Every structure is written in structure tokens, then in C-alpha cells.
Structure 1
Amino acid sequence: MTLKTRYEFTLPRGYVDRDGGLHRDGVMRLATARDELEPLRDPTVTGPDDPRLTIVVLARVVEELGTLSQVTPHEIEGLFAADLAYLQDFYGVINFGTQEEFDEFVAAQRALGVATGVSAPAPVAPPVPDEAPAAAPEAGVSLPRPGRASIEEIRTEAR
């Protein structure tokens, strides 16, 4: 029996390089203890709770991404949030999960169209109304702020 140490993946959206090239398919290898410890010595990482730690670790274990010759923290930082979340989940499953959990993860991604090469839907522009725009509010009248989907501000009194 051999141990599988390299796993192929397909990002939900893909990394767009500076020339506009799209890179979705890649390979991640299993992490070693050094992969998790060495980034703590990186001067840009302030400690184990620093969000940058994830970026540096992923840059060490993602061996291939599309046609890029090398994957560095710069490329990982340039990923869309959905792709970063995907790689974090993928890292957790291949390093700490069982084969059954890996198979479930891959099946779930296929069901969402990620692993089959189906691209994410393109954003749709809101329809343009045919009627004249509404009058601007009077000075001094405050309108309610639109709701926020998932990121909430911390109230001043809670800080």
C-alpha cells in the first residue's frame, strides 16, 4: 500500500494573473511539520493567530496552480475569497481527514460544479429602470443603510 501525498484540485473561481490568465487546476501536497512551523519564523507572521499564517502555509503546500511556474504567498493573497476558503477546506481534509471525508468533499464539490470544470456564474447586472430616477433626498435627511450580508461592524461600545 502506498501513501498518496499529492492531491489535484480545481478552484471554484480561479486565480487571475497580472496578464489576465485564469488558473484553476492545481496540486496540493500533504503538509509536513516543517510546513506548519517554518512560517511562524516568517517576519511577516506575528504569531499562530495571524491570518497571514494561512497564506504562507498554503503557499508552501500548493505545488502547482495552472501554468504558474511557482506559487508564492503573492499568488495565494491574490485568490478570490471563495478560492482561499476552498483551499483551506481542502488542506484540512487531505491533512486531517479520513479517506471517506476526502471522498465526501470531492463529491460535494462535484455536485456544486467545482471539480467538473463548470465555472461559477457570472455576476448579473441589475436591470436598468425605464422611468426617471427618484428625486434626491433633502439635505439633513438620513436614509437607512443597506444591510450587510456577512461582515458586521463592531459597535464602538463593544470594543
Structure 2
Amino acid sequence: MAQNQQASGRAAREPGTPGALSRWLQRKTNARMNRKIRRGRGTFMGMDVLILNTVGRRSGQPRETPVAWFADGEDAWLIVASGGGSRHPDWHANLMAHPDRAAIELPGRDAMPVTPHRLGGADRERAWQRIAAAQPRIAKYQSKSDREYPVIRLTPR
């Protein structure tokens, strides 16, 4: 039997990737959070949360993900692709693959098409300082990761 297979014959899971139970729990949690946001209550652990609507990069299927956001002026939102520290979350890959099909839902409001812009350099640093000041927990997670979390600015399309 190949080294990358378990005794049951299934391929071994890569370390750091979610198993079936973890994926099921994530779907249930996301669905509950999405219902809460649509009813007009959009906070989680002291952070404002929106629903990010993307399209699966491989499947082409619609995806909805609750994501913490930070105001960037009157009509822009910043989101951070932390993904638990080890890798970019799936929503980030979907968003970058189909940026023209992205939308957000803010608490109690209809979906709004947005254009994502991945920030870099001084723009990212200024945004990151505001995010870290507003939510020190994110800065703590970043300090424990070997990768720089992408910061995405969403603007109305």
C-alpha cells in the first residue's frame, strides 16, 4: 500500500487540512451565522461580520462565508484572509479566481456586488495597523504565522 494511504485504502489527509467532521461543523456554523446576519445581527466575538458571496474556483458553485470586516471609509470594507494561520482560506482563492462575481451582505441588507483589491506595500501596512488596533486578536494570530495575511479591500461595483 502506498505511504500516503491509510489502512482503509483512503488517501491520507494532508496535515492542516480539515477532515469531514471539521468541514461539517464549519458548514453548520456558517449557515447559523449567515441566518443571524440576514436578520440584522452581524457581530461575532466583538467583530462586525458580513457574508462574502463568491463562486467556487473549481466547482463554479455559489459560496457564502461569514467574514469579519473593518470599515475603510464610508463605502469600503477590509477583510483579512487569515485561514487559521497555516494557509489562505478557500474563500480567498475563490474570490481571487472570480473577482467579478463577488458580493457582500451586510446585516439586514440585500447583497451588494463588490470589487476586491488585494492590498500590498504601504496600503496594506496602513490598513493592517487600523485592523490590528481595532482587533488585537488578529495581530496576535498574525505574529504566530509564517505567512503574511492578505488584506482585501472590497468596494461597491
Q: Same fold judged by TM-score > 0.5?
A: no
Bucket of the pairwise TM-score, normalised by the shorter protein: under 0.3
| TM-score for the superposition, normalised by structure 1 | 0.21
| TM-score for the superposition, normalised by structure 2 | 0.22
Greater C-alpha Rg: 1
Which protein is richer in strand relative to its size?
A: 2
